[in-house]
């Protein structure tokens, strides 16, 4: 399968993240990609599609913030990675305070996504990898894979979070619509709910968002991903959340996935964008499902059986030593 990755996606390198009240090494590190790259052959660098396809998803004030946040952090006399510590819980008034700490709070929803010097560069080229995979599929490939890092599905039009800065699957979706696709299904099979993707398309009737994930009653991101979130306005009924309990293995997973696949068939999509996270793996250090490496192939095969042109973008997966094998097992289902 055509696979896209740019070496500049390694530049994003936060040192630590807040976890259970202490700072621990950042789980979403470059070693993840190195493990995958050692497993996959024939990885291509994306061409530069520019900023316009990113602007279809993200607001200009957020993009300006993301590009300058680390420089402003350093200019304020700080060391290390930038992250917020104060959030406007009720609403987010566009106050334009021009204070780095205020802006970090305004444009994020958690404290687990530090911005390092290379964050913008890596997020930009990760999005370009997603656009290159989309272009390949629009050009006639049956499926293509974007090895996105940083991941994207937690961030929204104007906020970051969950290790995510630019929403790669949303950028792919909007690029496909701009190129003439009419109805797109997004299937999110990361362990965590794709709250940013859901938010971006919540009122859209032309984009179906289906997610199988850990019940947010027990797991991050807690506030989104509950089964009663079903979209609004023109998007009423085009969001389908299929939460599963901790400990779920292949049998429970397949039952939920089959429900999601049936919804995608009913929707009549002309293209599929998959947010693939391998953090559903039994050995994942921050997640609690029980899938095995060999399970990813039949899961992917049943997705491939939809028989839709398919863009696959990388999301999470933190069992680094197994990540390449898990990705390869998933991609094998499309052979």
- Report the residue number, 191 or 224, with the smaller CB distance to Zn ion: 191
- Site membership for ligand SP5, residue 159 (CB under 6 A): no
Q: Which of 94, 117, 113, 197 is nearest to 153 (CA)?
A: 197
Site for ligand SP5 in 253-292 (CB under 6 A): 277, 279, 285-286
Spot the catalytic one: 154, 192, 193, 213.
154
Q: Which of 296, 82, 110 is nearest to 195 (CA)?
A: 110
Q: Which of 70, 145, 56 is nearest to 107 (CA)?
A: 70
- Report the residue number, 235 or 277, with the smaller CB distance to ligand SP5: 277
CB-based contact 108:154 (threshold 8 Å): no
The enclosing H or E element of 184 equals strand 184-188
Task: Report the nearest approach of Zn ion to the CB of residue 42 (Å).
Answer: 26
Task: Report the nearest approach of ligand SP5 to the CB of residue 306 (Å).
Answer: 23
The CA–CA distances, whole Å, from 98 to 44, 68, 101, 232 equal 39, 12, 9, 33
- Site membership for ligand SP5, residue 32 (CB under 6 A): no
Q: Is 154 a catalytic residue?
A: yes
The enclosing H or E element of 4 equals strand 2-4
Among 4, 5, 120, 163, binds ligand SP5 (CB under 6 A): 163
Peptide bond into 150 cis (omega under 30): yes
The enclosing H or E element of 275 equals strand 271-276
Binding mask 180-199 for ligand SP5 (x = CB under 6 A): ----------x-x-------
Choose the one of ligand SP5, Zn ion, none that binds residue 72, judging by a C-beta under 5 to 8 angstroms depending on kind.
Answer: none
For residue 253, how many other CB atoms are within 10 A of its CB? Answer: 20
Among 14, 53, 114, 162, binds ligand SP5 (CB under 6 A): 162
- Site membership for Zn ion, residue 216 (CB under 5 A): no
Q: What share of the chain is helix, strand, coil (3-state, %, to 5)?
A: 35, 15, 45
CB-based contact 133:149 (threshold 8 Å): no
CB-based contact 134:175 (threshold 8 Å): yes
Choose the one of ligand SP5, Zn ion, none that binds residue 237, judging by a C-beta under 5 to 8 angstroms depending on kind.
Answer: none
d(CA 176, CA 226): 28
Binding mask 296-315 for ligand SP5 (x = CB under 6 A): -------------------x
Choose the one of Zn ion, ligand SP5, none that binds residue 24, judging by a C-beta under 5 to 8 angstroms depending on kind.
Answer: ligand SP5
Task: Report the nearest approach of ligand SP5 to the CB of residue 159 (Å).
Answer: 14
Site for Zn ion in 242-281 (CB under 5 A): 277, 279
Contacts of 192 (CB under 8 A, 6+ apart): 153, 154, 162, 213, 214, 219, 220, 221, 225, 277, 279, 287, 316
Among 26, 191, 289, 296, binds Zn ion (CB under 5 A): 191
Binding mask 217-256 for ligand SP5 (x = CB under 6 A): ---x------------------------------------
- Report the residue number, 70 or 154, with the smaller CB distance to Zn ion: 154
Angle, CA of 189, 191 and 328, to the nearest 5°: 60
47-55, 115-123, 162-170, 239-247 -> range binding ligand SP5 (CB under 6 A): 162-170
The residues assigned a catalytic role are 154
- Which residues contact ligand SP5 (rule: CB under 6 A)? 17, 19, 24-25, 27, 112, 151, 154, 162-164, 190, 192, 220, 277, 279, 285-286, 315-316
- Which residues contact Zn ion (rule: CB under 5 A)? 190-192, 277, 279, 316
């Amino acid at each position: 399968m055509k696979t896209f990755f740019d070496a500049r996606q390694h530049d994003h390198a936060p040192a630590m993240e807040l976890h259970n009240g202490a700072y621990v090494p950042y789980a979403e590190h470059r070693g993840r990609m190195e493990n995958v790259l050692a497993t996959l052959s024939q990885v291509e660098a994306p061409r530069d599609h520019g900023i316009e396809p990113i602007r279809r998803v993200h607001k200009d004030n957020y993009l300006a913030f993301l590009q300058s946040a680390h420089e402003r952090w350093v200019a304020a006399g700080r060391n290390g990675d930038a992250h917020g510590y104060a959030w406007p819980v009720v609403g987010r008034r566009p106050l334009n305070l021009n204070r780095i700490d205020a802006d970090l709070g305004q444009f994020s929803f958690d404290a687990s996504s530090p911005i390092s010097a290379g964050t913008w560069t890596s997020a930009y080229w990760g999005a370009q990898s997603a656009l290159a995979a989309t272009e390949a599929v629009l050009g006639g490939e049956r499926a293509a894979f974007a090895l996105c890092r940083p991941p994207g599905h937690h961030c929204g039009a104007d906020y970051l979070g969950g290790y995510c800065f630019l929403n790669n699957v949303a950028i792919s979706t909007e690029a496909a619509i701009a190129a003439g696709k009419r109805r797109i299904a997004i299937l999110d099979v990361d362990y965590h709910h794709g709250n940013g993707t859901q938010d971006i398309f919540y009122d859209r009737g032309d984009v179906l968002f289906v997610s199988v994930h850990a019940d947010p009653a027990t797991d991050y991101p807690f506030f989104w991903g509950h089964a009663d979130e079903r979209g609004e306005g023109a998007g009423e009924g085009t969001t389908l959340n299929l939460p599963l309990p901790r400990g779920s293995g292949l049998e429970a997973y397949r039952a939920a996935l089959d429900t999601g696949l049936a919804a995608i068939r009913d929707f009549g999509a002309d293209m599929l964008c998959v947010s693939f996270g391998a953090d559903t793996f039994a050995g994942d250090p921050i997640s609690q499902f029980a899938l095995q490496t060999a399970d990813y192939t039949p899961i992917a095969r049943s997705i491939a059986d939809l028989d839709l042109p398919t863009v696959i973008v990388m999301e999470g997966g933190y069992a680094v030593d197994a990540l390449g094998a898990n990705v390869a097992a998933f991609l094998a289902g499309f052979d």
